[in-house]
Amino acid sequence: MKMELIQPFINAADAVLSETLACPVTISDISMDEEAYQRHATASLVEISGDIEGRVIFDVEDGMAIKVAAAMTGTEIEAEPQILRETVAELANLVIGNAVTTLNDQGFRFKVHPPVDHSDPHGFRGTEDVEALVMDFASPAGSVFMNVAIRYNHRRRADVNPA
Amino acid sequence: MGQFAALLRATDHQPVRYLVVDDSVFARKNLARIIDSYGGMLAGEAADGCTAITEYDRTLADIVLMDITMPQMEGIEAAERIVRQHPDARVIMVSSVGYQENIVAALQKGARHFVQKPVKPELLYEVIKYVLGDAAVTASISSAGV
């Protein structure tokens, strides 16, 4: 997997999580996911189609989701499944939106689809041409696992037809 | 979150009325909280572009805060339809997807401004003040009764 595609997601996750939680986050683990992805907690999936295609799964531990929800709403939040799902979807939306903004400004053109619940305990393994990279963003409140499996669909027009 | 000098409508000195459009409940709650800190009034909410159009027709809100990526009808199309029917509508796009192409498309379809998520309340406040222009005045929190 090309780091030029992954780096914007890492930067966006770092920036959004740090800003939302008002505390630093660190990448405590990074690995290639060769098996079917096993969900840890509440997860949301966003599909990307266009010059780059694939999907990103955001998987957030409850403690982290509650802290993010409280930061977003300014009130204490109960750990109810629906609230956790909404929180994770919005977090995914924020991170992926910021990442694709960077990629678009680099010349890639694609569409981001609205987040959907990823409720299956298993599923979405990488393939030979779409490897999945899993990053664990850790903070005192818990972890966010970001599973990214994207690839070039078409090379950028500038690469295909250099001036 | 800090408090801001309340934004009031210049015509009747009532709180500015907002329509918040976002498919995320959390984003809507967050924006509602920010609007409250501006001394504003939440006139309506919508979770997709189609509902946004009917809610605007119902509320004729002073400001529409519109997400882009939504199910059924996306925010840019909804903004275009609202502005086509109501040329004076003030629509501000609020989205995490803030690349140049999207911003230009939104402005071409009639949106007045663009704010990228995560929303910074101080920035959104300045954008709303700019978009309202002479249609709004500021008042202290106490004199606005909020």
Domain residue spans in chain B? 15-130
Question: How far is C-alpha A28 from the geometric centre of its chain's CA atoms?
Answer: 16
Chain pair A-B, CB pairs under 8 angstroms = 64
Residue labelled with tokens 């669909």: A153
Q: Which of B116, B92, B115, B125 is nearest to B2 (CA)?
A: B125
Q: Which residues pair with A49 in a beta bridge?
A: A111
CATH code, domain carrying A7: 3.40.1550.10
Angstrom distances, CA of residue B67 to CA of A125, A146, B21, B95, B141 = 31, 23, 6, 5, 28
The chain A residue lying nearest B95, using CA atoms, is A97
Residue labelled with tokens 């030979």: A128
Q: What is the tally of structural domains in chain A? A: 1
Please judge whether B26 and A69 are an interchain contact, meaning their C-beta atoms are less than 8 angstroms apart. yes
Write out the H or E segment, with its range, that includes residue B81.
Answer: helix B75-85
Q: What are B16's two structure tokens? A: 């500015």
Q: Which of A80, A90, A73 is nearest to A144 (CA)?
A: A90
* A140 domain-assigned: yes
**pTM of the shown model:** 0.83
pLDDT tens over chain A, length 163 residues: 678 888 999 999 999 988 887 778 899 888 887 667 778 899 999 999 888 888 899 999 999 999 888 888 778 888 888 889 989 999 999 999 899 889 888 888 888 888 888 887 666 555 555 678 899 999 888 899 999 988 887 655 555 555 4
Per the structure, the complete domain to which residue A33 belongs is given by 3-154
In sequence order, what are the residues at sequence separation of 6 or more whose Cβ sits closer than 8 angstroms to the Cβ of residue B133? none
Per CATH, which fold does B15-130 belong to?
Rossmann fold (3.40.50)
* A129 domain-assigned: yes
* A135 domain-assigned: yes
Taking only residues 66 to 125 of chain A, the set having a beta carbon closer than 8 angstroms to any beta carbon of chain B reads: 69, 72-74, 86-87, 89-90, 93-98, 100-101, 104-105, 109, 112-114
Closest Cβ–Cβ partner in A20, A90, A105 for B99: A105
